[in-house]
Every structure is written in C-alpha cells, then in structure tokens.
Amino acid sequence: MSRAPSNPTREEAASFTDKAREAASTVVEKAKDVTSTVTDKIEEATSAVAQKASDVTSAVSHRTGEAIDTVVDKVQAGGTYVREGVSSMAEDVGNLIRRNPLPSLAIGFTIGFLIAQITLRRD
C-alpha cells in the first residue's frame, strides 16, 4: 500500500518562505560585497594612476604636462564610469529581486543547491 504525498503544513510553508528570504538576502549581500570590493579596487587603481601621472607631470614641460593631465582626467573619468556602473548593477539586481521575488528565490535555491553539491563532492 502506498500513501499519497501529504500537503505541506503552514509551518513548513512558513519555514520554507523564511529560508527562501534568508537565501535571497544572502545572495543580495554577497552581490553588494563583491560590488564594494570591486569599487574599492577601482578607486585604488585610479588613485595610483593619478599619483603616477602627477609625478610625471611635475618632471616634464608645461605642454607635455597638459597632455598628461588630459590622460589622467580620462583615466579618472573611466574609473568613475566603471565604479558607477558596478553600483548601478548592484542596485538593478536588488530591484530585480524585489520585483520578482519568487523567481529570485528559485535562482537562489538553485545556486545554493549547486554550491552544496560541489562542497559535498569535495569532502
């Protein structure tokens, strides 16, 4: 004799929903952490390039200095563009998750499941 599968209880459904929210929150936090790290690295690189360019500018003639300043401005503008692009992407991901919570949860669970499978296979 086989038993028909039972329907989940409200407590199980609430638990599943809570776990899904936690997973989605974790994914968003990880995305923010990655964005923050990338932004920090871009700022460091931009600052280093600007400093080097400034050092070179002081050692060359006025005309050459103007050309280097233009390059530095372009590099800094590029760094700002990338930094804002990464921040914008993080905001877009957050907005996407808020507008589509169920598909986001499904993606989060799938990613979590895959990570768990990979981790278990390594042990």
Q: What is the pLDDT of residue 111?
A: 85
Q: How far apart are CA 79 and CA 87, in angstroms?
A: 12
Q: Is residue 21 part of a domain?
A: no
Q: Is residue 10 part of a domain?
A: no
Number of folded domains in the chain?
Answer: 1
Q: What is the pLDDT of residue 60?
A: 61
Q: Is residue 90 part of a domain?
A: yes
Q: Is residue 16 part of a domain?
A: no
Which pTM does this prediction carry?
A: 0.37
One pLDDT digit (tens) per residue for the chain, 123 residues: 555 555 668 887 778 777 777 777 777 777 777 777 777 777 787 777 777 777 766 666 566 767 777 877 887 777 776 777 767 777 777 888 888 888 888 888 888 888 888 888 876
Q: Smallest Cα–Cα separation from 47: which of 75, 74, 24, 19?
A: 75
Q: Is residue 85 part of a domain?
A: yes
Q: Is residue 2 part of a domain?
A: no
Q: Is residue 38 part of a domain?
A: yes
Q: Is residue 43 part of a domain?
A: yes
- CA distances from residue 96 to 29, 37, 44, 71 in whole angstroms, order as listed: 14, 21, 30, 37
Q: Print the domain residue range for 72.
A: 32-122
Place of tokens 């278990």: 120
